[in-house]
């Protein structure tokens, strides 16, 4: 790792620009996700966590950037915070009344959690805060990135990846790889290992899209009739319809 860090060190500025650009594209990938919701006319059935988590994570990562003195991290996540807030608002707009109540409760929990984390950052030992706050962010990232895997049993049962945000997962894989390289280039191995682990989680989720389609396959059972069955149905039809002679004889009687 140290040898690779020395090789990448001269390109750290370029890697920061690449990572920032890809991260911006990841934030914008939410537009594709929201467009699917717009076509459906409702956001029910989709999880709000990607956008709500994006708001929380952007705030905490901005704080982490100030602790590190890294302007690239701060600038990218300021943009991410603004976009995630807008996306969350659109998601809420298309939600049913029941889902809106659920979203508001989750926003309250997320806000309280964010305040606690920021308060912790102000009272922690300055020599330890960067590592510990970084571990905290890593835990949140692992939860957000790996949360779709909690539905793995349903995905296997349905044999479909319906509901999984492919654009966000795909760009998230690229983001993790780019920030891992940037972390190595500036000798920040906490950032490097954090993003390498996230890269592995995202790659596992991408493999599910290769194995299963994005929509469940609906197979209609075909009913086949044997010749004997058709013949039996025909004979039933003939016997059930009264003939003209039988009707006439009844009238005469």
E strands, 150-232, in order:
none
CA dihedral of 38, 42, 48, 50, whole degrees rounded to 10: -20
In a domain, 182, yes or no: yes
Residue 60 neighbours by CB under 8 Å, 6+ apart: 114, 117, 118, 133, 136, 137, 140
Domain count, the chain: 1
Distances (CA, A) of 8 to 16, 22, 143: 11, 18, 29
Spatial distance between the Cα atoms of 191 and 170, rounded to a whole number of angstroms: 20
What's the first-to-final CA gap in the chain, in angstroms?
Answer: 106
- CA–CA distance, 197 with 218 (Å, rounded to integer): 36
For residue 124, how many C-alpha atoms fall within 13 Å in the half-sphere facing its CB?
Answer: 17
Whether 116 is covered by a domain: the verdict is: yes
What distance lies between CA 178 and its chain's CA centroid? 19
User: Does the residue 238 lie in any domain?
Assistant: no
Q: Is residue 158 part of a domain?
A: yes
Give the pLDDT score at 217. 58
Host domain of residue 172 = 2-211
Contact 29, 171 (CB under 8 A): yes
Residue 95 lies in a domain: yes
Q: Is 142 inside a domain boundary?
A: yes
What is the pLDDT at residue 127?
A: 81
Angle, nearest 10°, between helix axes 12-28 and 30-40?
Answer: 0
Cα dist. 226→143, 201, 222, 229, 235 in Å? 56, 52, 13, 5, 14
User: Would you write out the chain's pLDDT as a tens digit for each of its 253 residues?
Assistant: 778 888 888 888 898 889 888 887 877 777 877 888 888 888 887 778 878 888 998 999 999 889 888 887 888 889 889 988 998 999 999 999 888 999 999 999 999 999 999 999 888 888 888 888 888 888 888 877 777 777 777 788 888 887 677 777 888 889 899 989 998 998 888 788 888 988 998 888 888 888 887 766 554 444 444 444 444 444 444 444 444 444 444 444 4
Cβ(91)–Cβ(48) below 8 Å: yes
Contact between 67 and 129 under an 8 Å Cβ cutoff? The reply is: yes
**191: which residues sit within 8 A by CB, 6+ positions away?**
134, 179, 180, 182, 183
Contact 195, 180 (CB under 8 A): yes
**Residue 216: per-residue pLDDT:** 64
Q: Is residue 221 part of a domain?
A: no
The pLDDT value given to residue 150: 72
C-alpha 130/C-alpha 92 separation (Å) is 34
Whole-number CA gyration radius for the chain: 29
Question: Is 249 a member of any domain?
Answer: no
Q: In angstroms, rounded to a whole number, what is the distance separating the alpha carbons of residues 94 and 36?
A: 11
């Amino acid at each position: 790792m140290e040898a690779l860090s020395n090789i990448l060190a001269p390109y750290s500025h370029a890697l920061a620009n690449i990572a920032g650009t890809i991260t911006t594209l990841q934030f914008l990938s939410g537009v594709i996700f929201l467009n699917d919701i717009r076509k459906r006319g409702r956001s029910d059935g989709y999880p709000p966590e990607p956008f709500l988590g994006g708001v929380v994570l952007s705030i905490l990562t901005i704080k982490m950037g100030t602790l590190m003195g890294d302007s690239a991290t701060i600038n990218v996540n300021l943009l991410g915070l603004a976009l995630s807030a807008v996306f969350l608002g659109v998601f809420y707009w298309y939600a049913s009344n029941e889902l809106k109540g659920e979203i508001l409760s989750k926003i309250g929990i997320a806000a309280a959690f964010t305040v606690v984390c920021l308060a912790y950052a102000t009272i922690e030992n300055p020599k330890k805060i960067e590592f510990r706050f970084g571990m905290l962010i890593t835990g949140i990232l692992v939860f957000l990135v790996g949360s779709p895997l909690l539905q793995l049993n349903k995905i296997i049962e349905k044999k479909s990846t319906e509901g999984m945000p492919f654009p966000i997962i795909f760009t998230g894989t690229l983001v993790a790889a780019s920030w891992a390289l940037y972390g190595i280039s500036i000798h920040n191995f906490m950032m490097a290992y954090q993003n390498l682990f996230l890269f592995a989680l995202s790659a596992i989720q991408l493999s599910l899209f290769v194995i299963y389609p994005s929509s469940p396959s609906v197979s209609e059972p075909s009913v086949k009739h044997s010749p004997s069955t058709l013949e039996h149905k025909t004979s039933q039809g003939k016997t059930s319809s009264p003939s003209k002679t039988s009707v006439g004889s009844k009238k005469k009687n």
